Amino acid sequence: MTIYETCGSSTIGYSANIYVKYVRRELRSLTTDDREEFLDTLKILYDVNTIDGQKLYGSNYKSLYYFLSIHVDAAGNPVCDEFHSGAGFLSNHVFLSNYLEQSLQAVNPKTALHYMEYVNDFSSISYQSHLDNQLDGGSWTELFSSTYFGENDPYSGRIINGRWKDTIVPYMTDSFLDQNLINKDKTFFPNEEVLWLTMSSAHLKSPFGLLRPPWNYNPSPYIGRYNNEAGISVVTNNNISDFFIGTQCSDVKEFLTEFVINKNLDSYLLNVKNYHTKVHDGIGGQGGENARSIDNYLINNYNLTNDDIIVIIQSSSKFYKKYLPLKYYYTSTKYPIYPLVCSENPWDESTESLSNVDFPSCQCNDYYYQSDDNLNTLIKIYFDKFAFESTIQYNSIKKIMALDYTNKLNVMKKLCSRLGYDGDMVGSASAIDPIFWVSHGSVEKLYQKLIINDLFLDLQYTASSSSCSGHAPWGKKDWLNGYKFINTDIEVNEYTNAQLSDVLNPNSILYRDLISYVYDNAKSNCEDVEELLSN
C-alpha cells in the first residue's frame, strides 16, 4: 500500500506491505454474533461427514472425525506416541489445530479457531469452589454451560445441554472410514507403518469399536467429560489432588523458571506438555461404576483415603495404557510374564457390530498371585515409576505393601479389575471434546511471547534422541497432506519437524508469509509470569 502526502508543491509517497491475517481471540471476548458463528461452525464439523462436506463447502473441508482419528492414532499407536512424547508436542498440536481451522473457514470464512485462556479459569475463585464440589457438572466456568460447550453429568460424563448434548463417538466401521476419506488400509504415519501393522489395524478403536484408544473400556457412544475423579466430590484438603486441578499461574511460572529462562528451545519443547497436561486431566477426569465400587470397597475395608484413590487412578490409567494394546507383543525381560489377562472384546470385526459376549473384564496374570514376592513385583508394575519416586504417593503404595499376603492379594485383584473410564479429554480421544480445540491456543500464544521477548538461548530444533517421526528433526507430518499455507502451493507435509518449528517463529519471514493468523494479545494473564518475563 502507498500513502501520499502533499507538502507545498511536492508530493511524497510512502509504501509498505500490509499483511492481513485472522485474529484468534479469547472466547469470552468475542461479540455474541462472533461467538455464535464460531461455535455453530465448529458443530458443523461434527454433523457433516467429509464427503458430504466437500460437496457443500469445497475440497478444504474435512469433518471433525478425520482430525480425531489422526489424534487417536498418533497418541495410541503401538510404536510410539507421535504427538506427545517428545519435542514435537507443540508443532503437532498447532498444525493439527491449523488444519482444523482450514476446515472451519471452508464452512465460514469469517471465523477463526479462537482459544480459551485456561489459566484464568483454573486460577479463579470459582474453580477453588469446584474443588469442594467436583460433582458440579462443570458449572465452575461459563465455558461448560449451554452457551458454550455444555454441562456434563458427573457420573456418566455425558454432555446434557447445549450444541454438543448427546454428541456421539463414532463406531469404526468401513462405512464411517469411507465417508470421512480415511484410508482403512494405510496409517497416517508411514514411517512407523510396517511395524505398526504387525501389531494393530491401520486405525485404532476401543474394545467397543468406538473411535477411542484400545485401553478405553467406556462402552458409552457419547462424549465422556467427568470434571471429577471417580466420583470424589471434595479434594480441597487432599495432599496430591494437584494432578487433577488444572494448570494455574503457579504452574506456568514454575515451568518457565525451570525449563525456559536461559535454556535452549529443546528444553521448552521437551517439557511444555507437562504443565499443559493438567488441563486435560482436570476436565476429563475419570468415571465408571465398577471403578467407583472398587474404590469405595478399598476405602471401607482397608482404610484407604481419597489421596490413596487418586494415586490408584493415576497409576491404573498408565498401567492399562501400557499393557492393554500390546498383549501379544510383550517382550519385557524385566517382567517376563505378561501382567494382564482380559476377556474377549465385544466388538466383532467380521460383522462390524457389538457381539453378545459378556461385558469385558481384566485380571492380572495368576503368576503374580502365587507368592508375596510376586505380588510385590506386580505392585511395582502397576504403580508407575513416578509414584514410587514421589514421597507422598509412595506412602499410599506402602499401605498396600505392608498388608499380609491374603489381604494384599485381595487388594491387587481389585485393582487389576478396576477398569476406570478415563474422560475423553484425558486420553488420545481428547479431540472428540470440543473444549480440546480451544485449549492449545493459549500454549502457542505464550510460546510466541517467549520468542518475542528473546528468552531462549537458541531456537534450534534438535530432539536428537528421538527415533519417532512425530518428534525427530527429520520427521515429516504426512497427516498434513491437504493442509495449505497461505498464498502458496507448498506441500506442507513435505516439511520436516525442524522446518515447521522455524515456521512457527512469530519473528520470522516464514511466519509472516505462510501463517494465516495472529493472537489478540501477548498477555499471559498471570502477574507473576509477567513480572518474571519482564526481568
SS (H, E, C) 232-282: ECCCCCCCCHHHHCCCCHHHHHHHHHHHCCCECHHHHHHHHHHHHHHHHHH
Q: What whole-number distance in Å separates Cα of residue 130 and Cα of residue 141?
A: 9
Q: Estimate the share of the chain in helix, then strand, then coil, as percent rounded to the nearest 5.
A: 45, 10, 45
Place of cell 453429568: 153
8 A C-beta contact, residue 383 and residue 397: yes
Angle ∠(247,252,253) on CA atoms, nearest 5: 140
Question: What pLDDT does 199 receive?
Answer: 84
Which grid cell sits at 277?
497436561
Ordered mean pLDDT values, 10 residues apiece, the chain (535 residues): 69 77 96 98 98 98 98 89 91 97 98 95 89 92 97 96 96 97 96 89 93 92 93 76 74 88 87 87 92 95 91 88 65 73 88 85 93 94 80 86 96 95 89 96 94 90 82 95 89 93 96 95 85 81
8 A C-beta contact, residue 62 and residue 480: no
Question: What pLDDT does 332 receive?
Answer: 59
Helix (H, G, I), strand (E, B) or coil at 200: coil
8 A C-beta contact, residue 324 and residue 340: yes
Domain boundaries, the chain: 24-282+429-533, 291-419
**Residue 12: strand pairing partners:** 5
Nearest Cα neighbor of 171 from 126, 222, 131, 133 is: 222
Which residues, including other chains, have CB under 8 Å from residue 294's CB and lie 6 or more apart?
414, 415, 417, 418
Burial class of 335 by CB neighbour count within 10 A (0 to 12, 13 to 18, 19+): middle
Which grid cell sits at 280?
486435560
Which residues, including other chains, have CB under 8 Å from residue 324's CB and lie 6 or more apart?
214, 215, 340, 342, 362
Place of cell 507437562: 274
Which grid cell sits at 109?
470464512
Q: What DSSP designation does 430 have? A: G
Burial class of 472 by CB neighbour count within 10 A (0 to 12, 13 to 18, 19+): buried
**Residue 168: strand pairing partners:** 222
Q: Are strands 2-7 and 10-15 parallel, antiparallel or unpaired?
A: antiparallel
Q: How many CA atoms lie within 13 A of 158 on its CB side?
A: 11
Q: What DSSP designation does 228 have? A: S
Q: Helix 391-401 crosses helix 306-323 at what angle (to 10 degrees)?
A: 90
- pLDDT, tens only, 87-124: 999 999 999 999 999 999 999 999 999 999 998 998 88
Which residues, including other chains, have CB under 8 Å from residue 531's CB and lie 6 or more apart?
none
Phi and psi at residue 26, to the nearest 5°? -60, 135
Question: What pLDDT does 328 receive?
Answer: 45
Which grid cell sits at 232?
470424589
Q: What whole-number distance in Å separates Cα of residue 50 and Cα of residue 46?
A: 10
- pLDDT, tens only, 481-508: 999 999 788 889 999 999 999 999 999 9
Over the Cα atoms of the chain, what is R_g? Answer: 24
